[in-house]
Structures are given as structure tokens and as C-alpha cells.
Structure 1
């Protein structure tokens, strides 16, 4: 679910800028597509598996959700390498092993309407100066020509909610009558109104930065190792906190080894009884004794003079 939300967050409003990449409407009669080397449907999909999932509800009807849309988009990503009829035939072949006749028919009908919807977007002309809310509104109006309410909620519900959030956030940030503090307050309120799953998906990419800032604040206030662990466990979970603790120990050990090396290297450099060549040889021998080949690649960045 998190991966699907990440896909929608990355592709929602951005997709509206690429409508013209879609070909004009083409017949969707089945044809047998040729396989790429290695059994992949298209060369660009070599080494991948179909993205998304397909399933049925308890009633046996097709489950219409963002996972199904991701599956459609996975096959449609082969446009340019295969024709639409070939893509449709390959998708149908894939679904035949997963769905019974009624659900399969429903899936292919939905796919045909999804393609028609995307082609309709490709034919739209939207002025560059049109704001995001207007562009999203036009796209949503086009969708209603092809899908019923349940299908709209399943295929686009999360994307619509996030796009609405994005449009409102941009409007707040662009409002010259608001102070920086008021903008921050209103954006934070928008964040709180997002569904938990969408809010978590939005926060995921900035978690490392947020955690680093919280750790820095804790250390400035004299927080000890246990307080640091509790902070991490609360923000990223116990398993991640355990891994971070191990990384801290490894980093501390590495820094101690580098400090020892720098001290001994300095002693060699100050030994007036050795020639410059002998000093270089002694430092090289010291490095070889203390660090393996992989560690030696990292060493210059940590052991630069002084």
C-alpha cells in the first residue's frame, strides 16, 4: 500500500504535464506481441515483474483500486516499443491466469476505458498559465466521462486527495497577504487533514532530515544514548533504531581507528632520523596494517592533514 501511495504522490499532478506523449486513439483489437530477449514484454522492462496487483472482491467482482491502475500503467509504459493492440493482448494474457471470465471481461473493459481516458487527456489543450487547480479540475471532469463513482474512487481517490492538498498548499504559499508564520500554520493544518496513509507516504522522503534535526536538538540539550534511542524508536521504529545504534558504534570505532592512525602517522612524520622516502614507506606500511583495501579507499577523506 505504501509503495502504491508513493507512486501516486510522484505521478499525480506531474502526469498532467505529459498529456501530449500519448498517441492518438488506436483500435484495441487483440494481436500477439513479440517478446523481448529474455522473455520480457518490452526491452525496457527486462528484469522486471508486472507492477501492481489484481484481485477480486468477496462477490467475485473485480477489485478496482490503485493497484489495478498501477498494473495498467506498467503495461502502458511499453508504448513506443509495442502498439496499443499488442499491449492489450499481453495484459489480457497475463490476467487470464489470475481472473475468471466475468472479472477478466470487467478488467479489460476498464482497461479500454482507461486508455480512452488517457487519450482524451492527450487531446486536451491547457494554457501554460492555467493554475494547477484548474488543470486538475479539467482532468477530473474528463474522468467522469469514462468511469462511475466507485471506479473513480478506486482508481483515483488517493491521487485526487493528494492533488487537492497540493493545489491548496501552493495557493497558500503564493498568497502575498499571509505572513510566513501564517503560511506555515495553514500548511500544517492541511497536512493534518490528509488521511494517515497519505500523510505517512508524504513524510517518508523527509524522515531522515527530520530525524537528523531532532537528534541534533537532543544532543544540544544534553540527551544521553538512551534518550537518543527512544527518540529514534518513536520516529522510525525500534528495528530502525537498533540499526542506527549499530551504525553509531561502527562509526565510533572507525573514527577511533582513524584518530590512532593520524597520531602514529604524525609521529612518523616528526621522526627526524627517517628520510622522506623512509617516512613515506613507514606510513604506507602503517596504513596497510591498519586498514583493508576497501577501507583504504575511504581513508583519505577522513585522515587528511592535520
Structure 2
């Protein structure tokens, strides 16, 4: 399984904190130690994937409580519905037993049980529809302290809390009728500068690519060449990304050429009056099979229709 990007993780985590993700309300699905006969074969949906997240110990041999550990919990809990909680717990414990000594293993499983209870509590938490984001986040944070110590909260949710606080403040600024558009922009820019570097970079990533697309369009409009395009990309997104984009350009150009060649030859076949309609269809099908793989053929209709 691919590791999620920091930005998508922040958004997903924020939804989870508010209880917006599905969680069964049934009280008979408590975690706790698994039954002796609980199956621990890997869940079908996890086969062929690698666990997301990680588990580590500190210099004193104690469990390190951080966001990587929480991601590992969520990786296994994603199979809820496919597996019962006792089965998920058994599968997680089997994974951890090969990586942790007895003491941090016990700490990890205890923390997992509390994390499950926390998420179940959030799912059943009634929040007034009129409550704003700040109120809902404050309620979720209060619930956390019922299950975790302050240090555990910081380790599991610290980055998420910083992003959530930014989001709440940003929405408050945008909703303030006493502020001009320019003042709103200034205050939001100040908020963004206060974000941790990783969060700020992740937040800027989609904006950076939009800006790059606009800059590329302007460069091409004024007749800029490939070297100028590469230099523009390298200056905005780095040399490695510029190399990947250049390779993508070459692949797209080769694909367009293949489609153009196919379209031209297809038109010649359909214009051949010596062939019956059935023979034309057979010839076009044969041409397509020669030029494109079965996977590529799935993409072909949309490109051919545009010619």
C-alpha cells in the first residue's frame, strides 16, 4: 500500500477527529483481547500491501507514541466490516510481536484498545448542527483526554491539531464581514507563515502546480522552446520533477503520434469503396490490435473521437 501524502493524511485525520468516518455503533464489537479461536489470517483487502505507518521504541526501550503508530493502527482498522475488532486486534498483535519486545508490545496493544474506544466514542458523539468548526474540534480534543495522556495526545494528534487550528482560524477570517478582502488575504497569509514547514509545503503543493501550468501556458504562447520550458519547471518544482515532466511530455507526444497514425490509416480503410462494411470493420479491428495493447485500446475511443 502506498504511503499517503502528508496533505491527504492531514485532511483524512481531521475528518476522523470529528467522527465523520464510518464507525459501527454496535457495542458487541469491542476490541479487547481476541477470542482463543479468533482467526488471524491476513485480511483479503490487505494482501499484497505493506503496512502503512511504523512502530518504534525510544532510547529507553519504551514505545514511541507518534503519528506513524496511529497510521499503523488505522491501516488495520481499515478492514473493519471485513473483520471483527477482535480479529483485527489479533492481526495487529501478530505484526507487532515480530518487531517489539514484551513491554512496548503491551504498551502498543493497550494504546490500540484505547484508540478504538476513542474512535467509537467520537462516532457516537452528538454534536449540534449549529456548532462551528472550532466548537467541534474543541469537543473532539476534550474526548481525547478521556482516553490518552497529554503526551500521547501530542504524539498521536499534534500535527493534525495544528492543521485543524489553522483551518478553523482561516474559516473565521473568511466569514468575518468587518474585514475587507485585502485584510482577509493579509491575515490568511500570516496564518500560513505560522504553519510548520512540512504542513506549509504540503499546502502549497497543489497551488504550485497550478501556478506552473499557468506559467507553462504563458511561455508556450510567446513561443518559448523546450529548454526554456525545462528551466521554468526546474525553477518552480525542482530538477527531479522537471525531469519527470519532460519524460511525461515525451510519452504523451509518442502516444499522440501513434493515435494520429492510426486515425489516418483508419480513415483510409473506411474510405476504401472496394471493401464491404464488414470488411472495413474487420480491417480496422486488426489495425487496432496491431498498434495498441488491450490496455491502451481502452483509452483509444476518446482520442480517436477528438480527431
Shorter-normalised TM-score: what interval? Answer: 0.7 to 0.9
State the number of aligned residues: 300
TM-score (normalised: structure 1): 0.78
Distance 1:5 1:265, change over 3 A: closer
Among candidates 28, 32, 50, match of residue 28 of structure 1: 32
* Structure 2 counterpart of 1:196: 197
Q: Give, in whole Å, the separation in 2 of the partners of 1:191 and 1:124.
A: 31
Q: Give, in whole Å, the separation in 2 of the partners of 1:249 and 1:70.
A: 37
* Structure 1 counterpart of 2:111: 110
Report the CA distance between 1:138 and its aligned residue.
Answer: 0.7
Larger radius of gyration: 1
Distance 1:31 1:64, change over 3 A: same
Distance 1:181 1:205, change over 3 A: same
Q: Give, in whole Å, the separation in 1 of the partners of 2:251 and 2:5.
A: 34
Say which SS state the counterpart of residue 3 (structure 1) adopts: coil
1:204-243 mapped onto 2 (5 Å cutoff): 204-205=205-206, 207-243=208-244
Report the CA distance between 1:269 and its aligned residue.
Answer: 10
Q: Give, in whole Å, the separation in 2 of the partners of 1:118 and 1:257.
A: 52
Kindly indicate whether the alpha-carbon contact (under 8 Å) linking 2:166 and 2:191 is maintained by their aligned counterparts in 1.
yes
Q: CA RMSD in A?
A: 3.9
1:120-159 mapped onto 2 (5 Å cutoff): 120-159=121-160
The reply on whether 1:12 has 2:13 as its aligned counterpart is: yes
* Structure 2 counterpart of 1:66: 67
Structure 2: 5+ residue stretches without partners: none
Report the CA distance between 1:227 and its aligned residue.
Answer: 2.5
Distance 1:64 1:300, change over 3 A: closer
Q: Give, in whole Å, the separation in 2 of the partners of 1:131 and 1:23.
A: 28
Q: Give, in whole Å, the separation in 1 of the partners of 2:148 and 2:162.
A: 17
Identify which range, 107-116 or 221-230, moves more after superposition: 221-230
Distance 1:35 1:204, change over 3 A: farther
Report the CA distance between 1:255 and its aligned residue.
Answer: 5.0
Kindly indicate whether the alpha-carbon contact (under 8 Å) linking 1:22 and 1:118 is maintained by their aligned counterparts in 2.
no
Report the CA distance between 1:142 and its aligned residue.
Answer: 1.4
Distance 1:302 1:24, change over 3 A: closer
Identify which range, 292-301 or 13-22, moves more after superposition: 292-301
The reply on whether 1:293 has 2:292 as its aligned counterpart is: yes
Q: Give, in whole Å, the separation in 2 of the partners of 1:262 and 1:120.
A: 60
Q: Give, in whole Å, the separation in 1 of the partners of 2:297 and 2:83.
A: 49
TM-score (normalised: structure 2): 0.78
Structure 1: 5+ residue stretches without partners: none
**CA offsets, 1:223-270, max 9 Å, x none?**
432232122123333222122223334444555676678789999999
